[in-house]
């Protein structure tokens, strides 16, 4: 955990988008890939030899959230939910997330469902996503929403924790 952020100020739920946030699918969205997916040399490929991989800092960030006891969830708009689920599984991520909203729709629907399932206030949630329209929509709910340009990095993650803690302080 960051020294400057106390346990009290940690988010109660961290939500991640997938494409261009947690993983890279050979420069495209996962619903533009060509299954079947295969594992060769511990790497995941689609039929067109596009590699699906987590961005460099992601595994250690997820480990840190687990170590800090902060639950994690997924919210991702995709036209191919079964493909996304299979890739989550192949990457060994299935156990990480307490909720997963994976289907085309609006992020507002995803977040309404997450709120219902978790019972956690929007103001206690932290979102990472690479699309500005999602950031704008979800931040209106009161969720601390952080734009990721191309892949979540340790720097973005730590700055987000500080921003969330500061927003919390302003409300108290």
What backbone torsions phi and psi does residue 160 show, to the nearest 5 degrees? -65, -40
What residue ranges bind Mg ion (CB under 5 A)? Answer: 17, 19-20, 130
Residues belonging to the active site:
17, 19
Least gap, CB of 19 to Mg ion (angstroms):
4
| Secondary structure element (H or E) that encloses residue 23, with its range | strand 23-25
The residue number whose beta carbon is nearest to Mg ion equals: 19
Least gap, CB of 17 to Mg ion (angstroms):
4
Cβ–Cβ under 8 Å, residues 140 and 123: no
Least gap, CB of 78 to Mg ion (angstroms):
9
Q: Which one, 19 or 24, has the nearer CB to Mg ion?
A: 19
Burial 31-55 (b: 16+ CB within 10 A, else e): bbbeeebeeeeeebbbeeebebebb
Least gap, CB of 20 to Mg ion (angstroms):
4
Q: Which one, 24 or 46, has the nearer CB to Mg ion?
A: 24
Cβ–Cβ under 8 Å, residues 74 and 15: yes
Q: Which one, 10 or 19, has the nearer CB to Mg ion?
A: 19
Q: Is the peptide bond before 107 cis (omega within 30 degrees of 0)?
A: no
130: left (phi over 0), alpha (psi -120 to 50) or beta: alpha
């Amino acid at each position: 955990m960051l020294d400057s952020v106390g346990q009290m100020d940690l988010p109660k739920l961290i939500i991640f988008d997938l494409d261009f946030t947690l993983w890279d699918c050979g420069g495209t969205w996962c619903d533009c890939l060509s299954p079947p997916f295969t594992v060769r040399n511990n790497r995941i490929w689609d039929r067109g030899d596009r590699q699906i991989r987590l961005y460099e800092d992601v595994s250690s960030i997820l480990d840190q959230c687990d170590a800090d006891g902060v639950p994690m969830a997924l919210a991702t708009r995709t036209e191919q939910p079964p493909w996304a689920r299979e890739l989550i599984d192949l990457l060994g991520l299935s156990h990480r997330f307490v909720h997963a909203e994976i289907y085309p729709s609006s992020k507002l629907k995803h977040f309404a469902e997450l709120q219902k399932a978790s019972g956690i206030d929007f103001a206690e949630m932290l979102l990472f996503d690479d699309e500005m329209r999602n950031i704008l929509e979800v931040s209106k709910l009161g969720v601390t929403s952080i734009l990721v340009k191309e892949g979540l990095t340790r720097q973005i993650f730590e700055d987000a924790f500080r921003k969330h803690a500061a927003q919390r302080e302003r409300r108290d």
